Amino acid sequence: MREPVFPLSRHLVCGPVKTPGSHLSAAQYLQLRRVQMKEASEMKYGEQVEGQTWDDIIKVMTSATVRFELLSTVHMSPVTLDVQREGSVSTKGPRGGVFVMYNCARLHTLFDSYERGMEKGLYPEIPEGSQLDFSALKEEGEWLLLFNYLIPFSELLDQSGQALVCDGGARVNLKTEQICKFLVSLSKDFSSYYNRVHVLGEPLPHLFNQMFCRLQLLRALRELYHRALDTLHLPPIRQL
């Protein structure tokens, strides 16, 4: 009888993981982060944090928090976790996974708003890039997003996963910390830009070109978020 053939699988092992002042099992650590995420959400959004939709959001946000905590350090190096119960997980602020997911959700909110405006007849459909004059992008932050993130992203993915094809041994050196740091840095620069620039302008024809150029840029950025989060096995969320 022929033995079944299973596809090659690889597991990423983090460690050693240190929890100063506490002795938590992995299950207790995950539960702690989930409770903290729920408390932070309730503090920010109040009584609306209930039901299956919010349960799903909290589950994803907890997963994002844990993955960024563990994978933002070179995976063969020690990881020190703050697991004090009185600590909190902020729903805003540049704190790893939560901050990244929050800014990804902001992009979904932006395009949902645009689509609602289009349904009301306020905006036409976004034209093809060849029909736009991208010289209308005059903000430094727009070119920073393009040259610092959109253009080098593919090369970063190639470098991060290169070990899977170059190393035939049982142990590989995946550079997950590069993806995590890239996403946190991107989120800081995107947040700064988004807080400063009003993307959806007045529904006036002479303003459409600049608005559509910005939407094209941010649509590419949304796709980048999705691809980067997918490498960490994190689904994007549409609200936060």
17-82+92-231 topology per CATH: Isoleucyl-tRNA Synthetase; Domain 1 (1.10.730)
So what's the pLDDT on residue 229?
Answer: 93
Positions of E strands within the chain: 17-18, 79-80
Contact predicate 17/70, CB 8 Å: yes
- What does the block give as tokens for 21? 């002042």
Q: How far apart are CA 213 and CA 18, in angstroms?
A: 47
So what's the pLDDT on residue 201?
Answer: 86
| Stretch 208-219: mean pLDDT | 96
Name the nearest CA neighbour of 62 among 234, 188, 239.
234
Least confident of 42-46, 87-91, 119-123, 124-128: 87-91
Phi/psi for 79 (5° steps) reads -120, 125
pLDDT tens, position by position, 19-65:
777 788 888 888 989 998 898 888 888 888 888 989 999 999 999 99
Stronger pLDDT, 122 or 15, i.e. the higher one: 122
Single-letter code of the amino acid located at 27 = A
So what's the pLDDT on residue 73?
Answer: 81
pLDDT tens, position by position, 6-17:
444 556 666 677
On the question of pLDDT at 100 being above 60, the answer is yes
pLDDT tens, position by position, 149-198:
999 998 888 876 665 555 555 555 667 888 999 999 999 999 999 999 99
So what's the pLDDT on residue 76?
Answer: 74
HEC string of 56-120 equals HHHHHHHHHHHHHHHHCCCCCCCEECCCCCCCCCCCCCCCCHHHHHHHHHHHHHHHHHHHHHHHC
On the question of pLDDT at 143 being above 70, the answer is yes
Best mean pLDDT range from 78-92, 155-169, 214-228: 214-228
Q: Please, what is the average pLDDT of the chain?
A: 84
Residue 86: band (very low, low, confident or very high) from pLDDT cuts 50, 70, 90? low
So what's the pLDDT on residue 3?
Answer: 46
On the question of pLDDT at 102 being above 50, the answer is yes
The tally of CA atoms less than 13 A away on the side-chain side of residue 92 is 6
Query: CB 181: neighbour CB atoms within 10 A?
Result: 15
Domain residue ranges of the chain, discontinuous segments joined by +: 17-82+92-231
So what's the pLDDT on residue 58?
Answer: 92
